[in-house]
Structure 1
Amino acid sequence: MTAPTAEPFVHPALFYRGEEEYVAGTVPFVREGLEAGEPVAVAVPGPQLDVLRAALGDAAADVRLVDMTQAGRNPARIIPRVLRVFADSHPKKRVRIIGEPIWPDRTGLEYPACAQHEALINYAFEGRDATILCPYDAEGLSEQALTDAYATHPVVISGGRQRSSPSYAPEHVVERYNQPLTTPAGAEGRAFGADELPMARYFVVEQAKRFGLSGVRLEDLALVAAELTTNSVVHGGGAGTVHMWAEGGQVVCEVRDQGRLKDPLAGRRPSPPAQPGGRGLLLVNYLTDLVRVHTGPDGTVIRCYVDR
């Protein structure tokens, strides 16, 4: 995988320090889009959304406003469920989007998925008439997050000045955060093949209940387990193992098999309505609060986190 060309897609990172710089870097971007007749969406954390709503005044009514802490809780669903759904609803127009998927309260567990998301935007929108501006809190985020922003964005705006990134290499970020995932020693596990699929799903549900999951969230995880275990049988060598454990306030379901994910955008492309199948990983991303993936010559691990 090589870095995509930038045009006609434009993907700048905005480094801001404080509310004044945030407003100065985002509000003109929105107003310019509206004046040009471009559909505009803003997907940022709730507090920042309030700031922009107030700064835009009446113009906010013409902007699609999205709380990223909810819509982007799982970074793997931001491309299909936030960015692409907006762009695809305006197929004949250039769209303008502000997307802030990384904020200081993101955990170290979430960050690798966030960095990969920012890298994969460049491939998901290659050739599209779109501009996606990604704000970065230069005071609140780690040095690593800012360094990665240079690698995932071809253009960086800082202090009111715009320049080409000297280290743009999104493919390196995708690979760097393709980190091995070690199953905890105390996790309960089951091996499965085609004949054991019902047993594997029953195991997931019973373990999830034991860890306090119930209601719709339990139903979501049951569906996720069904998709992942079926994928292992169909695409992952005919068998796999599933492990379950509790971690903080989350229930974790992990499926391992001998397959290899060759498409880094698997599960991040909206499926055409007429297409039969092909929605398994997309559904997994929609229904969970975090998905971590490691794939390589020895197989694939998909680890899903669901809030209790």
Structure 2
Amino acid sequence: MQAPDRIAAAPVSRQRRWRGSSKAACRETGGSGVVPGHEDIAAAGERLPRSHGHAALLYSGQADFLTSVLEFVREGVRNGEPVLALLPEQSAGALRCELGGLGQDVLLANMGEIGGNPARILPAAQTFAAGRQVRCVWEPAWPGRSDAEVCEIARHEAVSNLALAGGSVTALCPYDAAGLPSPVLEYARDTHPDVIEHGQRAVSSSYLGPARIPAPCRQPLPAPPAAAPQLQYDLDLRPVRDFVSGYASGAGLSEARRADLVLAAGELAANTLRHTAGGGTLQLWQDEHEVLCQVTDDGCIADPLAGFRRLPPDSLGGHGLWLVNQVCDLVEMRSGSRVDGTVDGTMVRLHMRLPATGPAQSASAASASHSPAG
């Protein structure tokens, strides 16, 4: 069997201010944007065959975890399929001790580094596959994940059903049934066609369908602090870059992380100028853990996978949000239309941890996040 390829770790680097209009542009695939969690857009996925290549493993204890994961790995090796295991440190250590001779066919990678931002998980699997039939084990949730991270995990799992349908990647997604809050487990059932519990695989009765995101994770983001500085932009990007750079410097971000935030905010603002007529609003604030940057405009994104897959270099557009996800610690996204058909617009919230908050697996600040229980 061909040896697994190496994957470089990704860099770790309630009131809404909508000015939407029914004439807002709807960005199909290009530029920076957000994944819509609305029924009219997600319904497009219903035309796809039900994917059985994306299952949640709700395990109870290490023995249960190892039994199901090793069975999945062994089946892949028998089929000539290299295996990528993206796991938190504890799970990775347990699996490493049991792989034995299978280790040469399995690439273990640190989920805390690659999947600290859940939107990086699918691109990592895509890179690993490189056109081959492969298997991936990804465990995206662990105790200490913030509420915001939990909802972006649910979004990642939902859109994975589109990305994996008929493709070359078969995924098993372990969730610690004993250690995780019940809403996290409910989201796993909502976003996986099949669920494995107590050694038994069954169709998930609560599966919502491809790209359908659990309702609590589609709620508006909490409002920024009332005193958060803001900038209205509608002509060029220089004021955006200067505004973000100045704030990030004062907040204590390193030079490299400040450059990352300026790059990400610039990508989002450029998308506003390219695809809307009304300009946008940028707000910045911080807490003891991180700097947050929010960009809103009156556009929408129609591609549920925007930002969740790496497009070929020669593709026209579609790279912006992927790049934003590569340089930010977390990206929260809301976009689309309300039930009455009027346009809400697009909101993207960028999170950048401050130096003192530690490694990628530390809990992010939850003060600007909503509860996973809704």
Shorter-chain TM band: over 0.9
Match of 2:114 in 1: 71
Match of 2:147 in 1: 108
Distance 2:164 2:278 in 1: 34
Distance 1:143 1:174 in 2: 14
CA distance change for structure 1 residues 188 and 223 in 2, over 3 Å: closer, same or farther?
Answer: same
Which residue identity does 2:239 align to in structure 1?
M
- The answer to whether the Cα contact below 8 Å between 2:194 and 2:201 also exists between their aligned partners in 1 is yes
- The answer to whether the Cα contact below 8 Å between 1:155 and 1:164 also exists between their aligned partners in 2 is yes
Aligned pair 1:38/2:84, yes or no? no
Match of 1:53 among 96, 108, 113: 96
Match of 2:242 in 1: 202
Match of 1:192 in 2: 233
- Compute the displacement of 1:53 (Å): 0.8
The number of aligned residues is 302
- Give the secondary structure class of the aligned counterpart of 1:177: helix
- Give the secondary structure class of the aligned counterpart of 2:140: coil
- Compute the displacement of 1:285 (Å): 0.6
- The answer to whether the Cα contact below 8 Å between 1:227 and 1:280 also exists between their aligned partners in 2 is yes
Q: Deviations over 1:122-180 (max 9, x none)?
A: 01111113310000100011111111211111111111111111111144425542221
Match of 1:305 in 2: 351
Distance 1:176 1:108 in 2: 11
- Give the secondary structure class of the aligned counterpart of 1:64: strand
- Give the secondary structure class of the aligned counterpart of 1:104: coil
Unmatched segments (≥5 aa) in structure 1: none
Q: Deviations over 1:53-75 (max 9, x none)?
A: 11102322321211111100111
Distance 1:147 1:174 in 2: 9
- The answer to whether the Cα contact below 8 Å between 1:221 and 1:306 also exists between their aligned partners in 2 is yes
Match of 2:309 in 1: 269
Q: Which has the higher contact order (CA 8 A, sep 6+)?
A: 2
Which residue identity does 2:327 align to in structure 1?
L
- The answer to whether the Cα contact below 8 Å between 1:244 and 1:251 also exists between their aligned partners in 2 is yes
Aligned pair 1:282/2:282, yes or no? no
- Compute the displacement of 1:238 (Å): 4.4
Which residue identity does 1:106 align to in structure 2?
R
Match of 2:274 in 1: 234
Distance 2:326 2:186 in 1: 29
Q: Deviations over 1:262-293 (max 9, x none)?
A: 22211112111222443111100110000001
Which residue identity does 1:84 align to in structure 2?
Q
CA distance change for structure 1 residues 143 and 175 in 2, over 3 Å: closer, same or farther?
Answer: closer
Distance 1:204 1:27 in 2: 47
Which residue identity does 2:50 align to in structure 1?
A
Distance 1:6 1:49 in 2: 30
Which residue identity does 1:221 align to in structure 2?
L
Where is the helix percentage greater, Structure 1 or Structure 2? 1
Match of 1:157 in 2: 196
- The answer to whether the Cα contact below 8 Å between 2:187 and 2:214 also exists between their aligned partners in 1 is no
Aligned pair 1:6/2:50, yes or no? yes
- Give the secondary structure class of the aligned counterpart of 1:298: strand
Match of 2:125 in 1: 83
Distance 1:97 1:158 in 2: 19
- The answer to whether the Cα contact below 8 Å between 1:178 and 1:295 also exists between their aligned partners in 2 is no
- Compute the displacement of 1:247 (Å): 2.5
Distance 2:281 2:212 in 1: 29
Q: Deviations over 1:71-92 (max 9, x none)?
A: 0011112112x221122x1x2x
Distance 1:304 1:151 in 2: 26
Match of 2:175 in 1: 136
Q: Tell which deviates more after alignment, 144-153 or 130-139.
A: 144-153
Match of 1:24 in 2: 67
Q: TM-score, normalised by structure 2?
A: 0.77
Match of 2:263 among 223, 234, 241: 223
